[in-house]
């Protein structure tokens, strides 16, 4: 039976740690297998243009090693499309990418690039890969995602999380309301709804409680927490927050 709210674990930052010393360890594939054993429903990895964390060989090794779905996060470039088609992951999440950013800062502007993205998404979908667009809650972007043929959107929760940690609770609640409206609109258009970016034990519950959301993708916080308690314990704790928010014990 498929779970009504899946937890996808992003293992990029195990590779960040590895690359900081130029060693062969810690191995992101080992982290992915540990997450799989600990009950993750999927693994996400972002192959960035600058290869700052995940590398091409990691993607191939993840695909080879995992029994659970691999979600290939990438920019919508010709280079990445080629690698993605060769890897044949379960899903792809298209994100905007800027060289100078620390992490994915905003959502993809699907509306501004709709003609090109229609072809781009079509080629991936034809290969049997589920395509997700990482976007903000702007209705224009949600409608454009449906129009270009995406099966899924992933709502960017980074701004909501930032507002929470800045203590700007009124603005945070407005942002949450917009995420709820976005999820509702997307589901009404037949899109599957995911969410992610910046989520922690403290911020996950209101997002997990949005009924249309089927999957959360969480990385940086879980990998950081794993340093202290281990990845399996961090995952279990995150899952219990998600289950509680969903009204399950
Ligand atoms: N989803 C997408 C599309 C992302 O770009 C990221 C960050 O790589 C995440 C989820 C996970 O965000 P975080 O690492 O902040 O949990």
- Rounded distance from Cα 217 to ligand 1 centre (Å): 6
Catalytic residue among 13, 156, 197, 215: 197
3-state secondary structure of 249: coil
Domain range summary for the chain, segments of one domain joined by +:
6-245
CB count within 10 Å of CB 167 equals 8
For the whole model, what pTM was predicted? 0.96
Closest C-alpha residue for ligand 1 atom 12: 197
The tens digit of pLDDT for each residue in 131-162 reads 999 999 999 999 999 999 999 999 999 999 99
Give the pairing of strands 6-10 and 152-156.
Answer: unpaired
User: How far is Cα 209 from Cα 207, in angstroms, rounded to an integer?
Assistant: 5
* CATH topology assigned to domain 6-245: TIM Barrel (3.20.20)
If pLDDT is split at 50, 70 and 90, which confidence band does 1 have?
Answer: very low
> Ligand 1, residues 15, 43, 44: which to mutate, most atoms within 8 A of Cβ?
44
């Amino acid at each position: 039976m498929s779970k009504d709210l899946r937890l996808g674990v992003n293992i990029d930052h195990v590779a960040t740690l590895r690359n900081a010393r130029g060693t062969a360890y810690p191995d992101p594939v080992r982290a992915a297998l540990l997450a799989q054993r600990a009950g993750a429903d999927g693994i996400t990895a972002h192959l960035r243009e600058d290869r700052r964390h995940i590398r091409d060989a990691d993607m191939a090794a993840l695909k080879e090693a995992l029994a659970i779905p691999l979600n290939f996060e990438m920019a919508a470039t010709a280079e990445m499309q080629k690698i993605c088609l060769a890897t044949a992951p379960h899903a792809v999440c298209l994100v905007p990418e800027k060289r100078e950013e620390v992490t994915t800062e905003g959502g993809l502007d699907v509306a501004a690039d709709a003609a090109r993205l229609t072809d781009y998404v079509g080629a991936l979908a034809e290969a049997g890969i589920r395509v997700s667009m990482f976007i903000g809650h702007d209705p224009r972007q949600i409608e454009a995602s449906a129009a270009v043929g995406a099966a899924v959107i992933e709502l960017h929760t980074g701004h909501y999380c930032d507002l929470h940690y800045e203590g700007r609770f009124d603005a945070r609640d407005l942002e949450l309301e917009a995420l709820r409206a976005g999820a509702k609109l997307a589901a009404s258009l037949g899109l599957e709804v995911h969410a992610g970016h910046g989520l922690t034990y403290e911020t996950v519950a209101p997002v997990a409680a949005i009924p249309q959301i089927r999957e959360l993708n969480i990385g940086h916080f879980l990998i950081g927490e794993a340093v202290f308690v281990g990845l399996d314990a961090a995952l279990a704790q995150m899952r219990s927050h998600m289950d509680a928010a969903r009204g399950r014990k």
